[in-house]
């Protein structure tokens, strides 16, 4: 309800009503989707510049609505978080990732999954991660957990404690969306990250000389402390060339490939030998 002038509650705008309705429909869709297994993973290959081939991938969650069109995770993930559905969804993602690794031994790379802050608040999450991966015969080293600085900022002590436990168990951590405004080097320096993912926004500005200098400095700084970099959101040849010249270790972006359905991803990996 909107406030106006004297602070009186006046009306629901049509837009607010529609947004509210859309949210409720989406919540239903998420709940039904979890029961009917309407969720699935896409895999976006990640190119290793030194090896000249794809060597890893990121698993991205997908949901089809009743018309068969895809709902964006950028829309349904925040909603799932708000409505208490994210933890169920997240365990489903981890299980699908484990099943993929178990079912396709021909794929030997690592697989990134995205974590939400609420997963870190679950009391039994560490033993559950360990037993789930054991049940699927998946070495924890195969899974890379992507988190953003926002997640760390929300509950630094808790996130740090869980991160350390999972790292000791063999899981790897990637810092996602680096360069999107929260960036503070202190997290990177104090937390056990294997890899930093440079956000698309850094790539978008790469035609600009100052941005190039900044990105080069970032990459060099991480390398100096033994942290790898993946550059995200590379869409064209010029961006690819510049980022490779600046020394990024790996590249993920539409230039190389969009996120792919399981079968297409496996074909692509098979094709490169």
Closer to ligand C2E by Cβ: residue 93 or 218? 93
CB–CB of 264/271 below 8 Å?
no
Q: What are the counts of helices (DSSP H) followed by strands (DSSP E) for the chain? A: 12, 12
Residues 159-188 close enough to bind Ca ion by CB under 5 A: 176-177
254 in contact with ligand C2E (CB under 6 A):
yes
Q: How many binding residues for Ca ion (CB under 5 A)?
A: 5
114 binds ligand C2E (CB under 6 A): yes
Residues sharing a CB contact under 8 Å with residue 115, sequence separation 6 or more, in sequence order: 90, 145, 146, 147, 151
Residue 235 sits in the site that holds ligand C2E (CB under 6 A): yes
3-class DSSP state for residue 123? coil
44: contact with Ca ion by CB under 5 A:
no
CA dihedral 141, 144, 149, 150 (to 10 degrees): -120
- Which one of residues 38, 49, 73, 268 is an interface residue with ligand C2E (CB under 6 A)? 73
Maximal CA-CA distance, the chain = 70
**Residue 95 lies near ligand C2E (rule: CB under 6 A):** no
Other C-beta atoms closer than 10 Å to the C-beta of 39 total: 18
Residue 114 as a binder of Ca ion (CB under 5 A): the answer is yes
Q: Closest by alpha carbon to 55, among 67, 47, 63?
A: 47
Q: Is 36 in the site for ligand C2E (CB under 6 A)?
A: no
Return the residues of window 6-25 that contact ligand C2E according to CB under 6 A: none
55 in contact with ligand C2E (CB under 6 A): no
- Min dist CB 85 to ligand C2E, Å, is 11
Show contacts with Ca ion in window 121-160 (CB under 5 A). Answer: 146
Burial 76-91 (b: 16+ CB within 10 A, else e): bbebbbeeebbbebbb
Q: Rule CB under 6 A: which residues touch ligand C2E?
A: 44, 60-61, 72-74, 77, 93, 114-116, 146, 176-177, 200, 232-235, 252-254, 259
């Amino acid at each position: 309800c909107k406030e106006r002038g004297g602070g009186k509650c006046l009306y629901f705008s049509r837009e607010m009503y529609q947004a509210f309705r859309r949210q409720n429909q989406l919540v239903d869709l998420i709940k039904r989707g979890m029961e009917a297994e309407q969720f699935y993973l896409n895999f976006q290959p990640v190119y290793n510049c030194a090896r000249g081939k794809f060597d890893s991938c990121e698993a991205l969650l997908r949901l089809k609505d009743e018309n068969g069109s895809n709902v964006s995770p950028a829309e349904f993930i925040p909603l799932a978080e708000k409505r208490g559905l994210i933890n169920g969804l997240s365990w489903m993602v981890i299980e699908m990732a484990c099943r993929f690794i178990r079912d396709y031994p021909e794929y030997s790379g690592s697989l990134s999954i995205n974590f939400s802050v609420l997963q870190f608040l679950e009391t039994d999450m560490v033993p559950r991660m360990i037993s789930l991966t054991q049940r699927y015969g998946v070495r924890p080293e195969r899974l890379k957990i992507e988190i953003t600085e926002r997640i760390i900022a929300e509950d630094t002590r808790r996130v740090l404690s869980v991160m350390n436990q999972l790292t000791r168990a063999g899981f790897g951590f990637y810092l996602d969306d680096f360069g999107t405004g929260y960036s503070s080097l202190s997290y990177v320096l104090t937390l056990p990250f294997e890899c930093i993912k440079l956000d698309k926004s850094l790539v978008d500005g790469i035609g600009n000389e100052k941005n190039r200098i900044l990105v080069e400095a970032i990459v060099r700084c991480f390398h100096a402390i033994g942290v790898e970099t993946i550059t995200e959101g590379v869409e064209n040849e010029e961006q690819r060339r510049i980022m490779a010249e600046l020394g990024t270790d790996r590249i993920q972006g539409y230039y190389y490939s969009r996120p792919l359905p399981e079968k297409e991803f496996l074909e692509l990996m098979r094709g490169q030998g």
